[in-house]
Amino acid sequence: MRVHILAAAASLLTLAVSSPALAANFDAAAANRGFTALKTYNLIVFNDLTTNQETEGKTFVGGNLNIKDASGNNGAYQSYLKGPAGTKSSTFGLTVGKNVTGGDLHLQNSSGGQVGGSLQNNSTDFNGDATLNLGGTGSVKNQNGAIVNQNVAGLASSIATTRSSMMSDLKELSKGLAGLTATDTLTNPNNGALVFSVAKANTDLAVFTLADFSGLANKRLEYSLNGAKTVIINVTGTSLTLPASVNFSNAAGAGATVLWNFANATSLDFSAQMFNGSILAPLATNVKTGNYIEGAAVFDTFNAMNGEVHLSVANSGTSYAGTYVFPTSTAVPEPASWTIMIAGFGLLGASLRMARRRRPSVRDRIAA
């Protein structure tokens, strides 16, 4: 009997200790740096970006910027730094790790840039005074008072280092978010809408989970955030296409609070639909858009950006502004784990009491 009790206690304690609130190999500090990157950039692409559109906020491209339209012809890409009226950013609006190829590059609103390689595109011009640093060479068509520095030593390696650390942090963030337990579910008020409805008022964190986009066809998507400061929507699928019949309703500005996390997705097709919400898809290498994204966006490779990427709030400089961060102290067991541990300790205690009752006393041993 005692052996069975000890075995059960050991099993319970093992289960409790092996089920912490955060995985033992999860780096909360790295994930929180990922949150910072989301708040800093409007668009982050670890490798190549192919587009003929525009980005309103800061853009980071770890590979090549290929300025091409959907048919593969040279197009035009505009990098903005849209902030409050009358302000001027002292930071680079565009960072490219390797080369700029294809069509015309327009650096607007005094949006300077840094390119680890060379300008191999049709033309580059500035609207407002700014600085463009090149690790290689390139010519500028309309300089308009801008400063162009060529063959800047160490620039390519510096951008590569930033890319490596940011990629690691954002992957860790996506993994951490995917491990969060859902707190709320979609509601269907029978009026053709699906509502991400947060039950608790003014909560710091609300979490939804979807398997894919299949249940969204012919639906109007709405957010009812109830004052939530951060809303995470985890989508677990790997190859996803947003139905053309989906549309967002009354969702302007949602990207500042709502973050869609595609932790496993390698292929994402957003069709020709506008998408209101920030996007974290660090493994996605096949990404297509045909309309704008409103909020921060992160992809491995963005091979068909046929729609613009907007800030969450126009002319604010804000892409994502959720306030939740992961606790960086040592992970502690969840309430359920505490219950299991207490049960285990209780069984151990019972076993020890039984052993003491069965052990002969000193008086009995002397009498014997």
Residues 6+ apart with CB under 8 A from 214: none
233's CB contacts (< 8 A; 6+ apart) are: 196, 207, 208, 209, 210, 258, 259, 260, 261, 277
Pick from 184-198, 220-234, 290-304: least confident? 184-198
Q: pLDDT (tens digit, 9 = 90+) per residue, 68-124? A: 988 899 999 988 876 554 445 557 899 999 999 999 999 887 788 999 999 999 899
Evaluate if residue 139 carries a pLDDT over 80. Answer: yes
Reported as half-sphere exposure (CB side, CA atoms, 13 A), residue 334 has a value of 10
At 295, is the secondary structure helix, strand, or coil? coil
Consecutive H or E run containing 336: helix 335-358
pLDDT band at 359 (very low <50, low <70, confident <90, very high): low
Q: How far is CA 346 from CA 17, 51, 154, in A?
A: 16, 63, 62
Higher pLDDT: 14 or 18? It is 14
In this predicted model, what pLDDT tens digit does every residue of 148-176 receive, in sequence order?
999 999 999 999 999 999 999 999 999 99
Average pLDDT over residues 217-235: 95
Q: What pTM value is reported for the model?
A: 0.83
End-to-end CA distance of the chain: 27
Domain layout of the chain by residue ranges: 2-19+333-367, 28-310
The per-residue pLDDT for 358 is 53
